[in-house]
Amino acid sequence: MAKRRGIKTCPECSTEMGVRTIICKVCNHEFSPAKKKIPVEKKKDSTVERAEPEKLRLELLPLDPYPDLSPDEHADRILDYGEVRAKNLLNQSKRQT
Report the share of the chain in percent with pLDDT over 90.
20
38 lies in some domain = no
3 lies in some domain = yes
Residues 58 and 26 in one domain: no
Quick one: pLDDT at residue 74? 74
pLDDT per residue as tens digits for the range 34-62: 777 777 776 665 555 665 655 555 455 55
| 83, pLDDT greater than 90 | no
47 lies in some domain = no
Residues 59 and 91 in one domain: yes
- Domain span including residue 20: 1-32
Q: Check: pTM over 0.85? Answer yes or no.
A: no
Angstrom distance (rounded) from CA 42 to CA 5: 34
10 lies in some domain = yes
Total tally of structural domains belonging to the chain: 2
The C-alpha R_g of the chain, in whole angstroms, comes to 36
74 lies in some domain = yes
DSSP secondary structure of 22-33: SB-TTT-PBPPP
37 lies in some domain = no
